[in-house]
Chain A
Amino acid sequence: MTYIAKPRLHHPSLTRNKVGYTRRDYEGRISTLCAGCGHDSISAAIVQACWELDIEPHRVAKLSGIGCSSKTPDYFLGASHGFNTVHGRMPSVLTGANLANRELIYLGVSGDGDSASIGLGQFANAMRRGVRMAYIVENNGVYGLTKGQFSATADRGSKSKKGAVNHDSPIDLVGLALQLGATYVARGFSGDKDQLVPLIKGALGHGGAAFVDVISPCVAFNNHSGSTKSYDYVRQHNEAVSRIDFMPTREEITAEYEPGELIEVEQHDGSILRLRKLDHEYDPTKRYAALNTMHERHERGEIVTGLLYVDPLSLDLHAGLNTSHQPLNALGPTELCPGGATLAKINAALR
């Protein structure tokens, strides 16, 4: 953790985005996590993504569960409302918040214990309901705040710092998200910001349930040689199927690419996901292809990263419910209360 607070005063030369904010305006309080924690890199990636997307900070609502990862929303977007809820239940609270005001951008931050262990049911149901949100799991395979117990994403055979070996099968949240109907599924690595920032941007701009699993090594409890979620292990086994660039609108392609290596995916709001395919066989708009690739690579001991699946025109929960475009929390008695004359009719029908 950093003990020295950076001065709040902004240097006048700091670059401002289209809505007039500097990158510093997207920061939060000083992190209380361990020095070198992967989660802090993810917070930095979120700051970068929001700044680049020209999102006004106060139009984001950031929600989390309980755990190291869930503490992080205090460390970015200080001008946004945040809600550190209860363990494993961020998805339901975010669902309710989203129903109340569909105009905000919803960022859900969770961990592997929070989403794969105690909160597996809520994770699953938020995905299948298509709640419009960027759901980021900061995945380190371990319980940090309670000092080093395995979580449900720990690989079978991986060793804890105390020497215990995990015998249980790991839950792959990416695989689950794909099966459950998430319409944007990605995996990143906290140590690869260049890949991670566009993945988060794509998720924030997505029209439905977007899930980003970020492998985030725990320097205190899970960064040793027996761990499959250490910096070294992930660096050695990281296999990116794609790199994406997120474009707010269609822009001219300037970089040089081999033919057939680049595909563009337009999302419902007109934003473009420009995918550089690293694997020629891979088609990120096919759900089954994503599942196949994941299983194949998993057999080879590889960790697949990149944008694994996207349904660019997906609809969200509000579309399914046909809720009014005006946010529900902005409606007053005129819109909500049927009034006395109607009540008199209801009374009459009950006699």
Chain B
Amino acid sequence: MKRIESINEFVIKFANVNGSGSASANELFAKAVLRMGVPVSPRNIFPSNIQGLPTWYEVRVSEQGWLGRRGGIDMMVAMNPQTWDADIAEIEPGGYLFYDSTRPIPESKFRPDVHVIGVPLTEISNANYRDARQRQLFKNIIYVGALSVLLGVEPEVFQKLFAEQYKGKELLLESNMKALHMGRHWIEQNLPDRSIGLRVRRANNVGDRIFTDGNSAAALGCVYGGATVAAWYPITPSSSLPEAFQSYCEKLRIDPATGQRRFAIIQAEDEIASIGIVVGAGWNGARAFTATSGPGVSLMTEFIGLAYFAEIPVVIIDVQRGGPSTGMPTRTQQSDLLACAYASHGDTKHVLLIPEDPHECFDHAAAALDLAERLQTVVFVMTDLDIGMNQRLTQPFEWDESRAYDRGKVMSAAELDEGRDFGRYKDVDGDGIPWRTLPGTHPTKGAYFTRGTTRDPYARYSEKGPDYMYNMERLIKKFRTAADLVPAPVERRARAATRLGVIYFGSTSPAMAEAFHLLEEDGVHLDGLRLRAFPFSDAVRAFIDSHEQVFVVEQNRDAQMHTMLVTELEIDPARLTKVLHYDGTPITARFISKAIRERLPERLRRPSEHKDREAA
């Protein structure tokens, strides 16, 4: 029988039952590999459920550093009888099945082309623990122990991880190490040769990178970026973002002298109230944000139009999930682009920032707070479930100590006293951005009435066509100004000169990085442009103009970014080739490389040396 042999390059998937405590055991496993100096990229695949439904944790181990989903499973840890058949079917031929052999399973339930390792996990656990909850939790640690022997993960690594996790709770450290050793011991006693083809070998390829999720990173970015007001309504997959903001603020934002909080967080009655609170705080000069997902954005759209037209700084972090309607709340997509870029009635356009990983979630969240005040408008941070809710190996967070907050054009009492002309909606600097005053600034000057109805440059109610046109033209000028202020796209030049280009963005990034590599091995060279924001800067047009064929890779059905590129840059749609992935799972390198190969011009097409088995 074929046997998959691989050191430091494989995918292991854990099939569990939601609510069984497996999440922390699986995370422990991923971190242990990381501590061996080998990059990992885990992904939670979970149901919209708290207890009972199937959940999976897929860990890609890759010394080369590929952090995207690869596709295909080399080893399945099958802990959920409900999904047994589907889980077994997913294993690559020559791969491995690890299961709980306490209860006999009929021969027919196994695959002849898969290597089986059965460990009586329940039996070991029940023999050692009496309490039902303990039996369950330690069973998870026992399988991590067993796996660590099979794969060669050093026990010292776990000792250290437990010590960090249970600092001050030495009893827990001891009991967890004990359970881990039960698993290790069983393998050592019962499978003396214990060699399987997959190994983790100590390496040095993690560097100073950190391991965190995008939601926590964005929350920390909001702390560093100076957000003081957050209002939100719970919705998957964004809820952990404001919760992380709360927990960071409780550590980092308490006035040491008084114990008072330098932040205010409101869990509102709905998304409409959330955005209303953010609009009110922004109007009054506090940096404010909300975090939500697609359905929340839908509810917020009336307010988004108000903030656009009345020119109020607002930051919305949209952790995208599968739509439409309730859609796939626990699956990932990039399908809110159009809903956000053009949210609300009337002619509206909004700034989008598009981070690729937790590091950029931090950067973009802080940048969004600056941009919202500089531009006096709504700024979206478009992350998604794949980035938001999965821990990812990412560059450490950075903060320039000399960085000041850009509060934009806020006219002070002193400036008003100097006799500066104040026209709230007047373009005095030629960039389309007017000056504003904050409530309470001056006893007699600078007050104005904010409204969503038409007004003249001095904020006086007006229904005159020219006043309306002046305002709408100025808003478009402001949007053009934004194109030069938002994070610039990142270009990646192919190793050989090429007329082919690919545009991608957000969570597609790690899969795309690997797809470049796969395609290059086949002699297909592509220049890449990773978009980081909307509106598009001139560099985007230049990239498209300088390539004969440009693929646009995105994770939605309707090619939303393609639509935005065609519309905003007035590009012939035939110049752009759609590559679309939208089944709710994160896009893979295999999918991208196959899709691109299939869409290559005839002269460049040739049979692949790589299998595209997983790509659908």
Instruction: Flag whether A4 is at the interface (Cβ < 8 A).
Output: no
Select the stretch in B89-97, B107-115, B447-455, B569-577 that faces chain A: B447-455
Inter-chain contact B281/A351, CB cutoff 8 Å? no
Against B, the Cβ 8 Å flags (1 = close, 0 = not) of A74-95 are: 1000111111111001011111
Residues of A within 8 A of B220 (CB): 346
A28 CB to closest chain B CB, in angstroms?
A: 9
Against A, the Cβ 8 Å flags (1 = close, 0 = not) of B252-267 are: 1101001111111110
Q: How many residues of B contact A (CB 8 A)?
A: 71
Cα distance A104–B209 in the bound complex, in angstroms: 46
Inter-chain contact A125/B440, CB cutoff 8 Å? no
B284 CB to closest chain A CB, in angstroms?
A: 4
Residues of A within 8 A of B268 (CB): 92, 125
Inter-chain contact A93/B272, CB cutoff 8 Å? no
Inter-chain contact A331/B276, CB cutoff 8 Å? no
Residues of B within 8 A of A129 (CB): 266
Against A, the Cβ 8 Å flags (1 = close, 0 = not) of B264-295 are: 11101110111111111111111010000000
Complex interface residues of chain A between 95 and 117 (CB less than 8 A to chain B): 95-101, 103-104
Inter-chain contact A346/B397, CB cutoff 8 Å? yes
Chief secondary structure at chain A's binding surface = helix
Residues of B within 8 A of A57 (CB): 443
Q: Which residue of B lies closest to A338 (CB)?
A: B252
Residues of B within 8 A of A94 (CB): 280
Q: Which residue of B lies closest to A25 (CB)?
A: B444
- The answer to whether A73 and B440 touch (CB under 8 A), given A85-B276, A323-B264, is no
Residues of B within 8 A of A125 (CB): 268-269, 273
Inter-chain contact A100/B284, CB cutoff 8 Å? yes
Inter-chain contact A323/B224, CB cutoff 8 Å? no
A241 CB to closest chain B CB, in angstroms?
A: 32
User: Which of B231, B258, B306, B437 makes the CB contact (< 8 A) with A324?
Assistant: B258
User: Which of A86, A104, A329, A338 makes the CB contact (< 8 A) with B228?
Assistant: A329
Inter-chain contact B405/A333, CB cutoff 8 Å? yes
- The answer to whether A104 and B263 touch (CB under 8 A), given A74-B449, A338-B223, A340-B399, is no
Complex interface residues of chain B between 225 and 257 (CB less than 8 A to chain A): 226, 228-229, 231, 252-253, 255
Cα distance A98–B277 in the bound complex, in angstroms: 9
Inter-chain contact A100/B281, CB cutoff 8 Å? yes
B352 CB to closest chain A CB, in angstroms?
A: 23
Q: Which residue of B lies closest to A93 (CB)?
A: B280
Q: Which residue of B lies closest to A70 (CB)?
A: B451
Instruction: Flag whether A254 is at the interface (Cβ < 8 A).
Output: no
Residues of A within 8 A of B288 (CB): 96, 100
Q: How many residues of A contact B (CB 8 A)?
A: 59
User: Which of A59, A79, A89, A104 makes the CB contact (< 8 A) with B272?
Assistant: A89
Inter-chain contact B276/A58, CB cutoff 8 Å? no
Inter-chain contact A84/B451, CB cutoff 8 Å? yes
Instruction: Flag whether A321 is at the interface (Cβ < 8 A).
Output: yes
Q: Which residue of B lies closest to A58 (CB)?
A: B443
Q: Which residue of A lies closest to B394 (CB)?
A: A350
Complex interface residues of chain A between 295 and 351 (CB less than 8 A to chain B): 318, 321-325, 328-329, 331-333, 335-340, 342-343, 346-347, 350-351
Residues of A within 8 A of B283 (CB): 83, 93, 96-97, 100
A67 CB to closest chain B CB, in angstroms?
A: 13
Instruction: Flag whether B441 is at the interface (Cβ < 8 A).
Output: yes
Inter-chain contact A331/B228, CB cutoff 8 Å? yes
Inter-chain contact A336/B262, CB cutoff 8 Å? yes
User: Which of A59, A78, A339 makes the CB contact (< 8 A) with B399?
Assistant: A339
Cα distance A79–B443 in the bound complex, in angstroms: 7
Residues of A within 8 A of B275 (CB): 92
Instruction: Flag whether B208 is at the interface (Cβ < 8 A).
Output: yes
Residues of B within 8 A of A337 (CB): 223-224, 226, 399
Complex interface residues of chain A between 228 and 287 (CB less than 8 A to chain B): none
User: Which of B259, B401, B449 makes the CB contact (< 8 A) with A73?
Assistant: B449
Cα distance A199–B405 in the bound complex, in angstroms: 43
Residues of A within 8 A of B447 (CB): 58, 78-82
Inter-chain contact A333/B264, CB cutoff 8 Å? no
Inter-chain contact B450/A100, CB cutoff 8 Å? no
Cα distance A61–B258 in the bound complex, in angstroms: 28
Inter-chain contact A336/B228, CB cutoff 8 Å? yes
Residues of A within 8 A of B397 (CB): 343, 346-347
Q: Which residue of A lies closest to B257 (CB)?
A: A324
Instruction: Flag whether A121 is at the interface (Cβ < 8 A).
Output: yes
A248 CB to closest chain B CB, in angstroms?
A: 20
A333 CB to closest chain B CB, in angstroms?
A: 6
Residues of A within 8 A of B451 (CB): 83-84
Cα distance A93–B212 in the bound complex, in angstroms: 34
B216 CB to closest chain A CB, in angstroms?
A: 9
Cα distance A139–B481 in the bound complex, in angstroms: 45
Inter-chain contact B264/A99, CB cutoff 8 Å? yes
Inter-chain contact A100/B285, CB cutoff 8 Å? yes
Residue in B274, B284, B288 with the greatest tally of chain A CB atoms within 10 Å: B284
User: Which of A82, A96, A339, A346 makes the CB contact (< 8 A) with B401?
Assistant: A339
A111 CB to closest chain B CB, in angstroms?
A: 16
Instruction: Flag whether B442 is at the interface (Cβ < 8 A).
Output: yes
Inter-chain contact A351/B269, CB cutoff 8 Å? no
Inter-chain contact B229/A328, CB cutoff 8 Å? yes
Cα distance A121–B449 in the bound complex, in angstroms: 25
- The answer to whether A93 and B260 touch (CB under 8 A), given A125-B269, A347-B210, is no
Instruction: Flag whether A213 is at the interface (Cβ < 8 A).
Output: no
Inter-chain contact A96/B270, CB cutoff 8 Å? no
Residues of B within 8 A of A325 (CB): 258, 260
Inter-chain contact B284/A96, CB cutoff 8 Å? yes
Inter-chain contact B211/A329, CB cutoff 8 Å? no
Instruction: Flag whether A56 is at the interface (Cβ < 8 A).
Output: yes
Instruction: Flag whether B602 is at the interface (Cβ < 8 A).
Output: no
Inter-chain contact A84/B228, CB cutoff 8 Å? no
Instruction: Flag whether A122 is at the interface (Cβ < 8 A).
Output: yes
Q: Which residue of B lies closest to A83 (CB)?
A: B450
Against A, the Cβ 8 Å flags (1 = close, 0 = not) of B449-483 are: 11111000000010000000000000000000000
Instruction: Flag whether B542 is at the interface (Cβ < 8 A).
Output: no
User: Which of B259, B270, B285, B404 makes the CB contact (< 8 A) with A101?
Assistant: B285
Instruction: Flag whether B154 is at the interface (Cβ < 8 A).
Output: no
- The answer to whether A61 and B440 touch (CB under 8 A), given A85-B279, A86-B452, A92-B268, is yes
Residues of A within 8 A of B453 (CB): 84
Inter-chain contact A329/B438, CB cutoff 8 Å? yes
Residues of A within 8 A of B429 (CB): none
Inter-chain contact A321/B273, CB cutoff 8 Å? no
Residue in A57, A89, A129 with the greatest tally of chain B CB atoms within 10 Å: A89
Residues of B within 8 A of A331 (CB): 226, 228, 262
Cα distance A333–B208 in the bound complex, in angstroms: 27
- The answer to whether A92 and B276 touch (CB under 8 A), given A79-B444, A335-B262, A337-B224, is yes
Residue in B231, B259, B273, B306 with the greatest tally of chain A CB atoms within 10 Å: B273
Instruction: Flag whether B156 is at the interface (Cβ < 8 A).
Output: no
Residues of A within 8 A of B259 (CB): 322
Cα distance A335–B438 in the bound complex, in angstroms: 20
- The answer to whether A101 and B449 touch (CB under 8 A), given A336-B262, A339-B399, is no
Task: Please give the residue numbers on chain A whose beta carbons come within 8 Å of chain B beta carbons, in ascending order.
Answer: 56-59, 61, 63, 73-74, 78-86, 89, 91-101, 103-104, 121-122, 124-125, 129, 318, 321-325, 328-329, 331-333, 335-340, 342-343, 346-347, 350-351
Task: Please give the residue numbers on chain B whose beta carbons come within 8 Å of chain A beta carbons, in ascending order.
Answer: 208-212, 220, 223-224, 226, 228-229, 231, 252-253, 255, 258-266, 268-270, 272-286, 288, 302-303, 306, 396-401, 403-405, 437-444, 447-453, 461
Can you list 28 A-B pairs, Cβ within 8 angstroms, ordered by A?
A: A58-B443, A58-B447, A59-B440, A81-B448, A82-B448, A84-B449, A85-B279, A85-B306, A86-B302, A92-B275, A92-B276, A96-B283, A97-B284, A97-B439, A99-B286, A124-B269, A125-B268, A321-B261, A328-B228, A328-B262, A328-B264, A329-B228, A332-B405, A333-B226, A337-B226, A339-B401, A340-B400, A347-B208
Further pairs besides A328-B286, A329-B286: 8, Cβ < 8 Å = A57-B443, A322-B261, A328-B264, A336-B262, A337-B226, A343-B399, A347-B210, A350-B212
